[in-house]
């Protein structure tokens, strides 16, 4: 048998991606849908909630930073806030480091 004939002939029973393997495409679409609805979409929703929370920060609100520092907001600017962590002790922190409202965190711990 000629070697060129063997190299050109498809393997018996093989259904490749382009040679009628519709199941492969369907499986890839299903996997992407599962990943999207169970991982990507919930993460995007959570990020939007956090972003809206940070936009709504107000003076006098008690918050917790990502580092675990509890304090009361004394000043809000575009990029940073001034947080009072004790009497006459104020720190300037990045707005993105605010994790949650202290009241929300206390309610979550009580459950």
Q: Taking residues 50-64, report their average pLDDT.
A: 92
CA-derived radius of gyration, the chain: 28
- Going from the C-alpha of 74 to that of each of 51, 91, 92, 100, the distances in angstroms are 20, 10, 10, 16
Q: Taking residues 77-97, report their average pLDDT.
A: 94
pLDDT surpasses 90 at 61: yes
Q: Among 18-32, 54-68, 76-90, which is the least confidently predicted range?
A: 18-32
The number of residues in the chain equals 111
pLDDT surpasses 80 at 110: no
* Predicted model pTM: 0.59
């Amino acid at each position: 048998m000629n070697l060129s004939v063997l190299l050109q002939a498809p393997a018996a029973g093989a259904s490749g991606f382009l040679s009628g393997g519709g199941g492969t495409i369907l499986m890839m679409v299903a996997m992407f849908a599962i990943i999207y609805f169970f991982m990507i979409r919930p993460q995007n929703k959570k990020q939007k909630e956090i972003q809206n929370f940070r936009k709504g920060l107000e003076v006098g609100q008690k918050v917790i930073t990502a580092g675990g520092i509890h304090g009361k907001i004394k000043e809000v600017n575009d990029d940073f806030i001034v947080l009072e962590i004790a009497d006459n002790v104020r720190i300037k922190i990045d707005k993105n480091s605010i994790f949650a409202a202290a009241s929300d965190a206390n309610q979550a711990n009580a459950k």
